[in-house]
Amino acid sequence: MDALILQILNGLDKGSAYALIALGLTLIFGTLGVVNFAHGALFMIGAFCAVTLQRILTLSYTVEDPTRTDFLGNPLKVDTPYVVHWFGDSIGHGIIEWAVPLAILFAIPVMLLLGYAMERGLIKHFYKRPHADQILVTFGLAIVLQEIIKLFYGANPIPTPAPDAFKGSIDFGVMIGFAANAIIYPAWRLVYFLFATVIIGAVFAFLQFTTFGMVVRAGMADRETVGLLGINIDKRFTIMFGIAAAVAGLAGVMYAPINSPNYHMGMDFLVLSFVVVVVGGMGSLPGAVLAGFLLGVLESFASMNEVKSLLPGIDQIIIYLVAIIILLTRPRGLMGRKGVMEE
Amino acid sequence: MLGLSKKDTFFFLFVVFLTMATPIILQPFPEGSALAQFNAGYPDLMQRFAIYGIFAIGFNILFGLTGYLSFGHAAFLGVGSYSVVWMYKLLNYNVVPGLVLAIITSGLFALLIGYISLRRSGIYFSILTLAFAQMSFNLAYSVLTPLTNGETGLQVYNDDPQILLGANHPLGPHFFGIVMQDSAKINVGGWQWTFNNGYYFCAIIAVIAFYLSLRIFRSPFGTMLRAIKTNQTRMNYTGLNPRPYTLAAFVISGMYAGLAGGLLAAMDPLAGAERMQWTASGEVVLMTILGGAGTLMGPVLGAGFIKYFENIFSKINDGILHHWFSALPDGVEEFLVFIFHPFIGKGWSLTLGLLFMLVVIFLPGGLIEGGRRLGNLFTGKSRKPTTPAKDPEHHPKPAPHVA
Amino acid sequence: MSKKFILNRRSVLKYGSAGAVTALATPYFFTRGALAEGENYLNAPKGDTVTFGFNVPQTGPYADEGADELDAYKLAVDHLNGEGDGGCLSTFSSKVLKGNGVLGKKVAYVTGDTQTKSDAARASAKSMIEKDGAVMITGGSSSGVAVAVQGLCQEAGVIFMAALTHSNDTTGKDKKANGFRHFFNAYMSGAALAPVLEKAYGKDRRAYHLTADYTWGWTQQASIQKFTEEIGWETVNNVLTPLAATDFSSYIAPVLNSGADVLVLNHYGGNMVNSLTQAVQFGLRDKMVNGKQFEIIVPLYSELMAKGAGDNIKGVYGSMNWNWTLPDEGTKVFVKSFGEKYGRPPSNAAQTAYAQTLLYADAAERAGTFNPCGIVGALEGFDFDGLGNGPTHYRAADHQCFKDVLVVKGKEEPSSQYDTLEVVEVTPRAQVEYAPDNEMFAGGDLGKCNPGA
């Protein structure tokens, strides 16, 4: 039982990342009708926002320490971060340690701007073009974005630890009435799950309860009619693209302590997030979220030793297998709408 | 000739000429000159041009004609390669049994996957094919290692049965004694041309594959497939069931992919699981779109373009840059190397990504469109871009209204 | 399809046999590659240069490792051509290299990108052989790629000097006469680690293995299991993880309640960085199980992995081929030379790349030819010293180098960003040696050297 609960936690956690990326992807599909192969790259750039902020906070001045030597026998260069210099040792290191959560504030404007620039500069010109062209141009963009990151940060993963307060694990079992040490779970992963729920909730609330969201939803259902009503739907869709980019970026920022960021992490998630979106059903936001959590949990179950010993290698294929079964039994995924991307 | 119209015969003969003269055309720069770096006329790359050309031609029969975008064609490529290497291991190094088996197994595999996946259309179809291919890849890499030799790749070992291997048979892939690896090198002036058996073997098969695809494009079957792309609902109303036609196209393109995979192993007796990964499926999609989906020559051009960058640009390093610009003053030399550095060697994929974007932004319709514009420029014909009426193969489709 | 284009059995036979006859009639015309007169092997250097092919990952997850190897190769070329400070030429026990090229020819090189994929690696190596006339290919960052390229070099007829490849198979069931490996292997990791682990953690331990689900992972897991069981440890479980996995939480979660008190991570590169980071996040290392402190072991370390995992490696044991902090002369000279050129200490991947290039050049010089068969003769059974690994032997039976193996531990108090690992023991060569027909290496066949002509 405790093993099952552990795997459900793992699944919800994995699912949070899938759901956040799929949510943004569906927003872009639904509003703009664009297949965005660069969405994984946006997730990756989000993670690198955390890396960048960490680098900015640790910007240092160098003093040569003649008493010690480096590997070549020259005087050792000791780097002291400016924040430590300005605020003293404990506060300075405290700020650096909180780089990842602080990066949320840093990432929101960066990702909104990036999304805005992408839509206005490139995607806008591809609304009337075939999906094939959209795939080619966004895939090209994804390669360019990740190569630029590689140019600046290299290919090796970069450690971006969570604040010390969340580094260890907590005994989740005790909280829900299990014996001590039965269900131990990393604190940061719980944070990630809560964070994802908040973001998902915020996006839905925004679409549901604001006038802006209402117009966007109307536009998703019937763009032309909304346009005829004299509403500038294009401008709102551009903003939605920025929001989708920001959601992907924030998913990346918070994922950085779980998975040390590297430049190709976007590609690793790209295929999975497409599977999630399609399993959820094209054009359905609740579908994307549901599919994200469902596939995450199933993937975790398939990784259990008991399952693996019964079906060797099942954890390698479970997501694809489930996708096939769902798509064959439900033609438009879990909650897809008719006529979206079925051409 | 060969059941083709006069215009097509001319086109076909032109393609045959290009294919046969490839070893000369791809060596435009004399050996030892600074630009010899850009020569592509060595056997391995020429073979890859022909093989990936076949792969893309086959993919285009499905995607270009019916509009069904498969994201799992790499699975058939992999199956084809494994078939050929297994025939080496069991029989001998003659490539014929392996290639026949490759076409059969990939055809059967395509029939199975196609039958299931074609129950859905649009992106749902794409994801189904992707899912099948990714499952094949993941299993080939791990659980199926006894069959595929996993990460290392399937290869021939000295203790394999090879029951038909005679004492004086070649110990490398061959076609009834013609060894694929062997080449004749001819030096003319400063130029060196390599005429390789393997390349011509692939080239002849590629020409046949191209001919078949030309016939399919011009046949009633091809028209039917185009009808599926244009308006499936209308087809249903006329009482025609599109599914068998699409399935036939899927299986044919799967067999092309299997043949291409088989030829990869026929040139180089090793089959790796990466051939089935989604990146490989994505590559053929990119080749087709980049060159011009639905056109006859486009996909081949796209294949050549991508393989050229992967193999030639990745080999240019800073040392070579310094050599090129060595005549310039030091400061300028350093500056130019600094400018070019991110785009060459390890930056080849950056260059490729940028070119993807440039081509699709400025040449809607792919490289073939660029070729046509150039042609128009020279002949002074209509300078307007795309004139669909003059363009029998290319059908730019208005974007379906989404949402 | 066509009405006019008919193939029947007769015409196939006719054209088929005509083709075969033509091929037989012109044996001289269809030869493998070009032959220089007198030098009967592939790509015999004609002018005043000889070309080496450096085939490393430049894109993909191991690009940084590839870049480090490439830097080391360029340094080796500098030293062979008499540029720079000469590096290990002064400490190398064989004194035939004088810094005037190899066999009087200046060393040139070409580079290529393996993308850490067998196909791309073979394409790149082939272009070096076919287009650039390379006589030797070297590189690698994964065993699959190394084995694939080694097989290609054997078929084509050039020498392959493997760089970073750790799988037993490279010099086991996939060994080839034209291929040589200086790097150590999974068996040696196990043999070197076990005694140190016994000393540190005792005889009574229960180990849980997480293993990357492909050939390298399996050979390493088997080696570690064998040696830890010999010191009395029990293996609780071995769970295979998908290569593409980035989130290992569902594999790590069951470890705590499995009764195991040691976690062995048979992962490399990004896999290892993620699995170790996540295992630490699960709090494994803070726990007491069976009355003992829970421990994590990473059998194969690299500097880049250590950098990627950050603080998480502190106190974690593993093994390495070489480390820049070693005190011997060869290491000192190499680190100085590399550090002055690139501003950072070399990794163990860089060291093996550098050593392999020098070893090849030295073998060519001693053999008096670049003919692969001459090289094979010169390298087989060769004893040398002064390249940083102490006295080393290139065994003739499987072309594997035998030398001391380092057991290292993540440093608790690093003094600089490069000072991440400390050497805790130099395991003597005798302790990691094995017979060529050891069961973990059985089934291979070197074959004969192939000069490609």
Q: Is A3's CB within 8 Å of C247's CB?
A: no
Q: What is the pLDDT of residue A343?
A: 63
CA distances for C414 relative to C64, C307, C388, C422, angstroms = 22, 11, 23, 9
Closest Cβ opposite residue C282 in set A154, A159, A169: A169
- pLDDT in 10s for each residue of chain C, 453 residues: 333 444 444 444 444 444 443 333 333 333 444 444 446 899 999 889 999 999 999 988 889 999 999 999 999 999 999 999 999 999 999 999 999 999 999 999 999 999 988 889 999 999 999 999 999 999 987 898 999 999 999 999 999 999 999 999 999 999 999 999 999 999 999 999 999 999 999 999 999 999 998 889 999 999 999 999 999 999 999 999 988 888 999 999 999 889 999 999 999 988 999 999 999 999 898 888 888 999 999 999 999 999 999 999 999 999 999 999 999 999 999 999 999 999 999 999 999 999 999 999 999 999 999 999 999 999 999 999 999 999 999 999 999 999 999 999 999 988 888 889 999 999 999 999 999 989 999 888 899 999 987
Tell me which chain C residues have a C-beta less than 8 angstroms from the C-beta of A162. 281
Inside any domain, residue A64: no
Judged by DSSP in three states, C32 sits in coil
Closest Cβ opposite residue A137 in set B352, B357, B399: B357
Residue B164 amino acid letter: L
Contact between B68 and C153 under an 8 Å Cβ cutoff? The reply is: no
pTM score: 0.90
Inside any domain, residue A339: no
Q: Is B142's CB within 8 Å of C447's CB?
A: no
Domain count, chain A: 1
Q: Is B345's CB within 8 Å of C113's CB?
A: yes
Nearest-angstrom CA–CA distance, C376 and C286: 51
Q: Domains of chain B, with CATH numbers?
A: 6-29+39-303 (1.10.3470)
CA distances for C345 relative to B180, C304, C321, angstroms = 45, 12, 15
* Mutation site for B-interface testing, chosen from C131, C158, C166 by largest number of B Cβ within 10 Å: C131
Q: What is the pLDDT of residue C29?
A: 38
Contacts for B368-371: CB closer than 8 Å, 24+ residues apart: B368/B291, B368/B292, B368/B295, B368/B297, B368/B298, B368/B301, B368/B394, B369/B292, B369/B394, B371/B301
Nearest-angstrom CA–CA distance, C112 and C366: 28
C49-184+324-403 has which fold? Answer: Rossmann fold (3.40.50)
DSSP string for residues in B241-299: -HHHHHHHHHHHHHHHHHHHHHHHHHHSSEE-GGGGSHHHHHHHHHHHHHH-TTSSSHH
Query: What digits encode the pLDDT tens for the residues A22-64?
Result: 999 998 887 788 889 999 999 999 999 999 999 999 888 888 8
Judged by DSSP in three states, A336 sits in coil
Domains C49-184+324-403 and C187-320 share a fold: yes
Nearest-angstrom CA–CA distance, C420 and A221: 57
Nearest-angstrom CA–CA distance, B75 and A20: 30
Closest Cβ opposite residue A300 in set C246, C250, C335: C250
**Residue B304 clears pLDDT 70, i.e. is over it:** yes
**B187 in C contact zone (CB under 8 Å):** no
Smallest Cα distance from B319 to chain C, Å = 9
**A75 in C contact zone (CB under 8 Å):** no
Q: What is the percent of chain A with per-residue pLDDT over 90, rounded to a whole number?
A: 52
Judged by DSSP in three states, C256 sits in helix
Q: Which residues of chain A have pLDDT under 70?
A: 339-343
Q: What is the pLDDT of residue A247?
A: 95
Inside any domain, residue A342: no
Domain coordinates in residue numbering, chain C? 49-184+324-403, 187-320
Q: What is the pLDDT of residue A339?
A: 66
Inside any domain, residue A19: yes
Closest-approach residue (CA) in chain B for A317? B135
Structure tokens at A67: 């008493």
What CATH number has the domain bearing residue A171?
1.10.3470
Domain that holds residue A251: 2-58+100-329
Q: Where are the beta strands (DSSP E) in C192-328?
A: 206-212, 234-241, 262-266, 288-289, 292-293, 295-300, 317-320
Closest Cβ opposite residue A188 in set C59, C281, C335: C281
Q: What is the pLDDT of residue C36?
A: 41
Structure tokens at A252: 């990346």
Tell me which chain C residues have a C-beta less than 8 angstroms from the C-beta of A299. 250
Burial of C163 by CB count in 10 Å (0-12 exposed, 13-18 middle, 19+ buried)? Answer: buried
Q: What is the pLDDT of residue C419?
A: 87
Closest Cβ opposite residue B158 in set C5, C130, C445: C445
Nearest-angstrom CA–CA distance, B77 and C439: 35
Max mean pLDDT among B99-103, B165-169, C23-27 falls in B99-103
Q: Which residue has the tokens 């044996």?
A: C27
The number of C-alpha atoms within 13 Å of B240 and in the hemisphere containing its C-beta is 15
Tell me which chain C residues have a C-beta less than 8 angstroms from the C-beta of B145. 214-215
Interface of B with C in 97-156 (CB under 8 A): 138, 141-142, 145, 150-153, 155
**C443 in A contact zone (CB under 8 Å):** no
Q: Where are the beta strands (DSSP E) in C10-58?
A: 49-56
CA distances for C43 relative to B313, C40, C156, C451, angstroms = 23, 9, 10, 9
Closest Cβ opposite residue C30 in set B172, B197, B219: B197
Q: What is the pLDDT of residue C18?
A: 40
Mean pLDDT of B58-81: 95
**B208 in A contact zone (CB under 8 Å):** no
Tell me which chain B residues have a C-beta less than 8 angstroms from the C-beta of A337. 403
Tell me which chain A residues have a C-beta less than 8 angstroms from the C-beta of B388. none
Looking at domain C187-320, does it have CATH number 3.40.50.2300?
Answer: yes
Inside any domain, residue A86: no
Q: Is B289's CB within 8 Å of A133's CB?
A: yes
Nearest-angstrom CA–CA distance, A339 and A341: 6
Q: Is A323's CB within 8 Å of B127's CB?
A: yes
What is the arrangement of strands in the sheet containing C383-384, beginning at the earlier edge strand? C383-384, C392-394, C401-402
* Mutation site for C-interface testing, chosen from A156, A188, A319 by largest number of C Cβ within 10 Å: A156
Q: What is the mean pLDDT of chain B?
A: 89
Q: Where are the beta strands (DSSP E) in B160-205?
A: 174-175, 178-179, 183-188, 191-196
